[in-house]
């Protein structure tokens, strides 16, 4: 069976089992492609001022209207999609690697390592993401790097807890004990035997952490601590539109709907991945 036929069969099965998740997958793919290739579309420059009249309502010329500087709002929303996805995905991918290593270390080695890692994760989990964002922005200054650090710090405890929990359930299994008796090192056991068995939980948690990261990034940008002008993210565009909510509601409405759709689509895809991998839980890869 060719790759195309496999993809077609997988899509048909997903459509039959969960059409809502299939719609979320299509919507997420559209948003990602729009964020990646949107700047190459024949649209107005996202940063060019006075392209049209100020605060023009949506029309064929300006589908999302114009902002207070006369910039076309559609290319700015596309720019915001790219920034929000890029910052959130970068932070979450980096955090997932560290979280997986720390979670496996805590769940397999236990003892002092487990107590130290688990307690540090609890301390980070106890701090609200907004407070962490304010502290980091005060030290590093507002900007993209601060947003990535805040998302990483806020989502790290989630990965550590989930991977630690799954690893604890695997630590006493027969194939782990057999590897220990054969003289395999702890690093090899975690890399060869534990990592493949926690990969499913890691992927599911990664999708949910991505939606959390998008929310955090949007909040930070809404407060002026994330992406700085003339750049744009969905959060900063929402803040910009909220200032003109009474007589130009299309600014806040368009960016808010796109942000809500992005977060919803990521969660729906995460649910679909969880449902697909759920039958595999409890059957370790020896």
* DSSP per-residue letters across 47-76: T-S-SS-TTPPP-SSSTT-B-TTS-BHHHH
Averaged pLDDT for residues 252-279: 86
At residue 278 the predicted structure's pLDDT band, cuts being 50, 70 and 90, is: low
Residue 54 lies in a domain: no
Most confidently predicted of 84-93, 134-143, 162-171: 84-93
Residue 71 in any domain: the answer is: no
211 in a structural domain: yes
pLDDT value of residue 281? 45
| Pairwise pLDDT comparison (229 vs 160), residue with the higher score | 160
Judging by beta carbons within 10 Å of its beta carbon (0-12, 13-18, 19+), is residue 256 exposed, middle or buried? middle
Residue 156 lies in a domain: yes
CA distance 226 to 247: 26
**Residue 141 falls inside a structural domain:** yes
* pLDDT value for 76: 93
Backbone angles phi, psi at 69, to 5 degrees: -105, 10
- pLDDT tens for 178-198 read 888 888 888 988 888 898 888
Structure tokens at 147: 């947003």
Residues 141-150 as b/e (b if ≥16 CB within 10 A, e otherwise) read: ebebebbbbb
pLDDT, residue 8, reads 63
Judge whether residue 201 has pLDDT over 80.
yes
SS3 147: helix
Q: Is 274 inside any structural domain?
A: yes
Please name the residues in contact with 50: beta carbons below 8 A apart, sequence gap of 6 or more: 69, 70, 71
Residue 200's domain comprises: 86-237+263-280
Would you tell me how many other CB atoms lie within 10 Å of the CB of residue 209? Answer: 29
Instruction: Report how many domains make up the chain.
Output: 1
Sequence-ordered alpha helix ranges (H) in 110-194: 111-126, 129-140, 144-170, 174-181, 186-188
In this predicted structure, the answer to whether residue 282 has a pLDDT above a threshold of 90 is no
Distance, in Å, from the CA atom of 102 to the CA atom of 93, rounded to the nearest integer, reads 14
CATH number of domain containing 106: 1.10.3720.10
Band (261; pLDDT cuts 50, 70, 90): very high
> Which of 49-58, 81-90, 168-177, 218-227 has the lowest average pLDDT?
168-177
Task: Find the helix or strand (DSSP H, E) in which 34 lies.
Answer: helix 19-37
Q: Is residue 120 part of a domain?
A: yes
pLDDT above 90 as % of the chain: 38
Q: What is the pLDDT of residues 71-103, one digit of tens each?
A: 999 999 999 999 999 999 999 999 999 999 999
Residue 3 pLDDT > 60: no
Q: Is residue 61 part of a domain?
A: no
Q: 5 falls in which pLDDT band (50, 70, 90)?
A: low
């Amino acid at each position: 069976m060719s790759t195309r036929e496999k993809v077609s069969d997988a899509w048909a099965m997903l459509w039959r089992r969960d059409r809502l998740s299939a719609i979320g997958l299509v919507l997420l793919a559209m948003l990602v492609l729009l964020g990646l290739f949107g700047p190459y579309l024949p649209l107005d420059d996202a940063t060019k001022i006075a392209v049209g009249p100020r605060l023009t309502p949506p029309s064929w010329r300006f589908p999302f209207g114009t902002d207070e500087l006369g910039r076309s709002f559609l290319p700015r929303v596309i720019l915001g999609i790219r920034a929000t996805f890029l910052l959130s995905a970068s932070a979450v991918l980096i955090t997932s690697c560290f979280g997986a290593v720390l979670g496996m270390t805590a769940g397999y080695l236990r003892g002092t390592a487990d107590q130290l890692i688990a307690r540090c994760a609890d301390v980070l989990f106890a701090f609200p993401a907004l407070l962490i964002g304010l502290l980091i922005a005060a030290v590093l200054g507002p900007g993209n790097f601060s947003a990535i650090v805040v998302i990483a710090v806020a989502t790290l405890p989630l990965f550590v807890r989930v991977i630690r929990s799954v690893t604890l359930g695997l630590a006493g299994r027969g194939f782990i004990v057999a590897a220990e008796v054969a003289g395999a090192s702890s690093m090899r056991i975690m890399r060869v035997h534990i990592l493949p068995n926690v990969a499913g939980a890691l992927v599911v948690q990664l999708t949910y952490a991505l939606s959390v990261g998008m929310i955090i990034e949007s909040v930070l940008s809404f407060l002026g601590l994330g992406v700085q002008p003339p750049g744009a993210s969905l959060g900063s565009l929402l803040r910009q539109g909220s200032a003109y909510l009474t007589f130009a509601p299309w600014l806040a409405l368009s960016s808010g709907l796109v942000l809500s759709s992005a977060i919803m689509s990521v969660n729906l895809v995460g649910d679909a991945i969880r449902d697909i991998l759920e039958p595999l839980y409890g059957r370790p890869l020896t």
